[in-house]
Structure 1
Amino acid sequence: MNKKRIFWHFSLYLLITLLALAASTLFSSQMIRSFYEERTRQDLKARAVLVDNQILPLFAENRWPELHALCRQLGRKSATRFTVIDKDGRVAADSDENPARLDNHGRRPEVVNALAGETGTSIRFSYTLQENLMYVAIPLRTPDQTIIGSLRLAVPITAIDQALAAIQRKIALGAFLLALLVAAITLFISRRLSRPLHDMVTGADRFAAGDFSREIPLAGPSEMVELAGALNRMARDLDKQIQTAISQRNKLEAIFDAMIEGILTIDRHERITALNGAACRLLETTVERQAIGRTILEVVRNSAFKGFIQEALQTDEPLERELNLAHSQLGDRAIQAHSVQIQDQEHPQILLVLHDVTRLKELENLRRDFVANVSHELRTPITAIQGFVETLLDGALEDPQHRRQFMEIIAKQSSRLKAIIEDLLTLSRIEEERRAIATKPEPLATVLAAALDVCRPRAAEKEISLHLNCPADLMATINAPLLELAVVNLVDNAIKYSGTASVDVRAAAENDRISITIADQGEGIAPAHQHRIFERFYRVDRARSRKQGGTGLGLAIAKHIVLSHHGDISLLSSPGHGTTFTIILPADRQ
């Protein structure tokens, strides 16, 4: 016990000595540095004031070549760097560098103070000159005291650094010799204690590295035994806590990355501190591209988004706002942004949750258009029926000729109303059964022939011939009634908009798919309408479509039937050259 106290006694003296030397070195260095810096600052300020009256006229009159030459002359004579900066931070002249190669100095602290009407001072490393410099800037004022820029002077401060380095080397040498002396005295005393201490250090290193598999041996004086036991208990507790923390962290990271909402945290300087994969996708960034640590404006160049973040940082209340973000691959995205303050006094941040509501907006627009179209399509026959019924009730019922005419119109409009409702029900049923339609291998020629048989009476009325070209042995895994309905709708559409010509239906196997084409020789479809032709109730010519008796749902039904077969449908058309619809189905794999 006595040797242990002597060991700590000498160690304490060594520590006090080293601390005193360190404090003395620090104090002396600071005093020398402060004195030299203050003297240099006053000297630079005096120089700036002396040349102010020479620089101001040239600067005020925009005489840049003369101003630049004057700065170079002053710099050579005084071994000082002279820089003239306008009120926007642009370098107008510099004694050492071409002003055009220098970046904007408007945010340099000494320039900010000078433009505010004060004398600005700053010490920092110059990447241009590759050494530490002291900068002093004064405002350039016109006779009416208007600040039009600043004059900045700079000189190297390597002399003080060299002097301080020499002092520190001497003190370090003295400390080293003193440490050797004390170490020699305590070496013999500490020899008996070295083994337990070594074991504890080794064990502590293992614990620090996360290895808790072996405990520290309990050996040496009782105090060291107690210390080793305490370290072992601490290691066991730390192991439990670390395992718990790792488990919780893994769960949180899994939840964080699996969320479809974009999550990111932003500090008070508008820098991103964390974000998940969904946020990376929405903002078109990655952690690898160092999104973390960058300002939000560097990642997302959107003024509305930046304004929302600034507002969220300035309030303790949760905020919610809808924003539009441009996306290079997905197009414009509608984002519902929610923000909440993270309660942390030392590092205040906000948590931002981004919901991509683009699809919801699109569905809402589709729903609105669908309701409007349905209302419009139903209103036309209902209005006609109501009008002729009222006419009959007003007296036309007694006129046999008009009565029959009106009743035929009512019957025609009723049939149209029924057709619209049946097509709506068919479309709804197809959408509901889209993922679970029953399919089986069927001869495709039989299905296509049945579809053409349905359309032949109407084709005969318009003197249109229907042609089928399909191999008899071509099999496809399909729902025959649904595919027949899709082909009927496409052929019927071709008949409606073709003159006296023909409609050709062809089917063929191509690699791992089957193609079905329905080609007419009609008037064709303009490119402006092609991307919307499969929408519900969309018509290129509404008046003509109603005259032809269509409901506006045939092509939409055909599209959903093809999609339910995991296929695709497209069209190729140009005005005056007819239209070709192409259905692509997966080939039969059985």
Structure 2
Amino acid sequence: MQSSLPVRLTCILLATTAIGMAVMGLYVSRALETPLVEHTIASTVRDARIIHDAIVPYVGQGRPISAPQELAQYYAAKLGARVTVIAYDGMVLGDSERSLAEVRSLPNQRDMPEIQTALAGEVGSQLRYSQALHQDILYVAIPLTEGSQIKGALRIALPLTQVDKAAISVHRTVSLGALLAFGVVLAVGVFISRRVTRPVTEIQSIARRMAEGDFAQRVPVSGSDEIAELGRTLNLMAARLHEQIRDLKGEQAKAAAILDSMVEGVVAIDHRERLLLMNHAARAIFSLGAERVEGRPFLEVIRHKAVLDLIQAMRLATVGETRRREVELGPPLERLVEAHATAVAITPAGPGVLLVLHDITELRRLERVRTEFVANVSHELRTPLTSIRGYLETLLDGALEEPVNARRFLEIAHTHAERLSRLVDDLLQLSDIETGKVILKPDALVLRHVAADIVMMFEQRALQKHLALVNAVPSDLRVQADGDRLTQIVVNLVDNAVKYTPEGGRVTLGATRGLSGFVTIWVDDTGIGIPSTDLPRITERFYRVDKARSRELGGTGLGLAIVKHLVQAHGGELWLESELGKGTTVYFSLPAA
């Protein structure tokens, strides 16, 4: 969030003061710290030289002995510091803060910077941070010499307590000065904000509220200077903007209400093929969510070549010219859309395109269903009628005088008339189910009893074909269903199984308790099976795998369609599994009782 002008001025003054105080504090700290450290080093070197002669005779033995360790501990107590005796090869001979056993396991110290300097014959010093003590430690080392021979090094380590105390004192003084300076700067900043920036701040605050839509705000104007003139201009602008925006909002609300209430999709695109507008119907057609699409390129939002080709074709069109095209959309949802594109002068930069989209998916589907239905019904009705007419004409032409042929012809005509009657009955029944005229009367039914009645019903036909008709429904299963309709469903399925199962086959009725409170019922046969390519359409009206065989067996092609709709009316589902030449299993689910 951007701060105000008075705050920024005050912050600049405070920041400048803080930087100055920080630089000053750093300089003072450095100025005091360096002499103190040098003084400490010099003092430590003097102490080290004093104890030099007492330790030199015990250095050079090649391994730690008790004398250097005892001397290190003795002088450490006198100096109040850590004393370490190191041989020329870097081995620790004595350390005041370690026992003799611990000294033997200390690492070689020859790589330490201060030790390297001492072994070179100079005074070495190093300031390092101790992780154990959490403070800076000063290490000072001098060479241990006997004559002109360097026999080792003596190192004294001590914390920079005095230096730290001096630095803390300086920091405290600088901090106090900074606080005083901050107070003075803050007072100056407040004075400047009140006396210099107050009119500008007021205008800024009122202008912000105007930008948020509150055009009732007015800048208090007094005087004739530049700021007062700015206030008058801002007030005039606010009044005019308020009037114009009110008119624009009214027109926009009308247009939005009209567009969103249309069932047709409307899309406006500018000359750069960027979306200017898209109503709710268009979003639904293109399966778009509630995300904002205005201002984005059309191809980024709708990646459909046919629609894009139509829009690009309108670039050469004159304003007012319209073109029509049917476009298939999808996936995920397959739609057929009739698109009308019109070249319109949307922006001054160039003509755009107005797309009006009509979703004709359902219309085309209904036309296709109607055409197929009329063709199928016509074909199914014409076949028995043609047979009936042919045999009747044969009888009228003289076969009536031949008793043997006349009776046979009449029986055939009667068979086709019964088939025609069954077809009409099935069509009427299917129509009643689809239109909701069939009223279900659900009741708790023992499924095995229903299956037993149907097995008895088909027992004679099964014996004629030497079929094994088995009732494998468990006795404890109950379903909530209309008894007559459940019988109709199972009868249709068993009838198909018996028809299409060759002699010596097997037809089984079974059931099991499924998930979500449903019972799965199936009719399994060892019949001729259904090709996998025909399975998706097997429940369509008049769809037959083998049309000639089906008519020969007296089927109308509506049985499975009726079964599917009856199952769905109960809230269940129907599905099939089949393997050509091995048999078919038809499953359906019903609510458990």
Shorter chain as normaliser: what TM range?
0.5 to 0.7
Aligned to 1:487: 490
Flag the 1:223–1:273 CA change in 2: closer, same or farther, 3 A.
closer
- The residue type equivalent to 2:473 in the other structure is C
How many Å separate the matches in 2 of 1:383 and 1:565? 39
Given that 1:275 and 1:292 are in contact with CA atoms closer than 8 Å, whether structure 2 keeps it comes out as no
Flag the 1:318–1:192 CA change in 2: closer, same or farther, 3 A.
same
How many Å separate the matches in 2 of 1:456 and 1:249? 75
Shift of 1:389: 1.3
Flag the 1:438–1:284 CA change in 2: closer, same or farther, 3 A.
closer
Q: Which runs of 5+ in 2 are unaligned?
A: 1-193
SS of residue in 1 equivalent to 2:544:
coil
1:463-490 alpha-carbon deviations (Å, 9 max, x no partner): 3343223344433333332232222111
Aligned to 1:409: 412
Identity of aligned residues (%): 42
2:360 pairs, out of 357, 362, 366, with: 357
Flag the 1:571–1:312 CA change in 2: closer, same or farther, 3 A.
same
| Alignment of 1:556 onto 2:564 | no
Greater Cα offset, 362-371 or 469-478? 469-478
Aligned to 1:389: 392
Superposition pairs for residues 186-585 of structure 1, below 5 Å? 199-212=202-215, 215-217=218-220, 261-275=264-278, 279=282, 292-294=295-297, 296=299, 299-300=302-303, 302=305, 304-313=306-315, 314-315=317-318, 316-325=320-329, 327-330=330-333, 333-344=335-346, 346=348, 347-433=350-436, 437-445=439-447, 446-500=449-503, 501-512=505-516, 513-585=518-590
Given that 2:527 and 2:581 are in contact with CA atoms closer than 8 Å, whether structure 1 keeps it comes out as yes
Aligned to 1:75: none
- The residue type equivalent to 2:338 in the other structure is Q
Shift of 1:283: 5.2
- The residue type equivalent to 1:523 in the other structure is I
- The residue type equivalent to 1:540 in the other structure is V
Flag the 1:423–1:240 CA change in 2: closer, same or farther, 3 A.
farther
How many Å separate the matches in 2 of 1:246 and 1:457? 81
- The residue type equivalent to 2:571 in the other structure is H
Shift of 1:257: 6.6
Greater Cα offset, 211-220 or 459-468? 211-220
1:511-537 alpha-carbon deviations (Å, 9 max, x no partner): 212211110111111112111111111
1:7-48 alpha-carbon deviations (Å, 9 max, x no partner): xxxxxxxxxxxxxxxxxxxxxxxxxxxxxxxxxxxxxxxxxx
Greater Cα offset, 482-491 or 265-274? 265-274
TM-score by length of 1: 0.58
Shift of 1:226: 11
Given that 1:269 and 1:295 are in contact with CA atoms closer than 8 Å, whether structure 2 keeps it comes out as no
1:409-445 alpha-carbon deviations (Å, 9 max, x no partner): 11111100000000001111110118x8535342141
1:185-233 alpha-carbon deviations (Å, 9 max, x no partner): xxxxxx9999777645532332122235755447557999999799769
Given that 1:441 and 1:475 are in contact with CA atoms closer than 8 Å, whether structure 2 keeps it comes out as no
Given that 1:283 and 1:300 are in contact with CA atoms closer than 8 Å, whether structure 2 keeps it comes out as no
Aligned to 1:180: none
- The residue type equivalent to 1:344 in the other structure is I
Superposition pairs for residues 86-125 of structure 1, below 5 Å? none
Given that 2:293 and 2:301 are in contact with CA atoms closer than 8 Å, whether structure 1 keeps it comes out as no
Given that 1:196 and 1:220 are in contact with CA atoms closer than 8 Å, whether structure 2 keeps it comes out as no
TM-score by length of 2: 0.57
SS of residue in 2 equivalent to 1:402:
helix
Aligned to 1:125: none
Q: Which runs of 5+ in 1 are unaligned?
A: 1-190
1:163-183 alpha-carbon deviations (Å, 9 max, x no partner): xxxxxxxxxxxxxxxxxxxxx
How many Å separate the matches in 1 of 2:566 and 2:463? 27
Flag the 1:241–1:372 CA change in 2: closer, same or farther, 3 A.
same
Flag the 1:475–1:222 CA change in 2: closer, same or farther, 3 A.
farther
- The residue type equivalent to 1:521 in the other structure is T
Flag the 1:494–1:233 CA change in 2: closer, same or farther, 3 A.
farther
Given that 1:291 and 1:299 are in contact with CA atoms closer than 8 Å, whether structure 2 keeps it comes out as no
Shift of 1:456: 3.8
How many Å separate the matches in 1 of 2:525 and 2:326? 47
SS of residue in 1 equivalent to 2:537:
coil
Flag the 1:497–1:349 CA change in 2: closer, same or farther, 3 A.
same
Aligned to 1:138: none
Superposition pairs for residues 57-206 of structure 1, below 5 Å? 199-206=202-209
1:241-267 alpha-carbon deviations (Å, 9 max, x no partner): 757866875786687678665432222
User: Rg larger in 1 or in 2?
Assistant: 2
Flag the 1:429–1:216 CA change in 2: closer, same or farther, 3 A.
same
How many Å separate the matches in 2 of 1:225 and 1:570? 83
Given that 1:396 and 1:403 are in contact with CA atoms closer than 8 Å, whether structure 2 keeps it comes out as yes
Flag the 1:251–1:218 CA change in 2: closer, same or farther, 3 A.
same
- The residue type equivalent to 1:204 in the other structure is A
- The residue type equivalent to 2:587 in the other structure is T
Shift of 1:234: 7.1
Given that 1:514 and 1:585 are in contact with CA atoms closer than 8 Å, whether structure 2 keeps it comes out as yes
How many Å separate the matches in 2 of 1:484 and 1:250? 59
SS of residue in 1 equivalent to 2:367:
helix
Shift of 1:393: 1.5
1:24-83 alpha-carbon deviations (Å, 9 max, x no partner): xxxxxxxxxxxxxxxxxxxxxxxxxxxxxxxxxxxxxxxxxxxxxxxxxxxxxxxxxxxx
Flag the 1:194–1:290 CA change in 2: closer, same or farther, 3 A.
closer
- The residue type equivalent to 1:337 in the other structure is A
User: How many residue pairs end up in the alignment?
Assistant: 394
1:348-377 alpha-carbon deviations (Å, 9 max, x no partner): 211112334334333322222221111111
- The residue type equivalent to 1:323 in the other structure is V
Shift of 1:395: 1.8
Flag the 1:473–1:317 CA change in 2: closer, same or farther, 3 A.
same
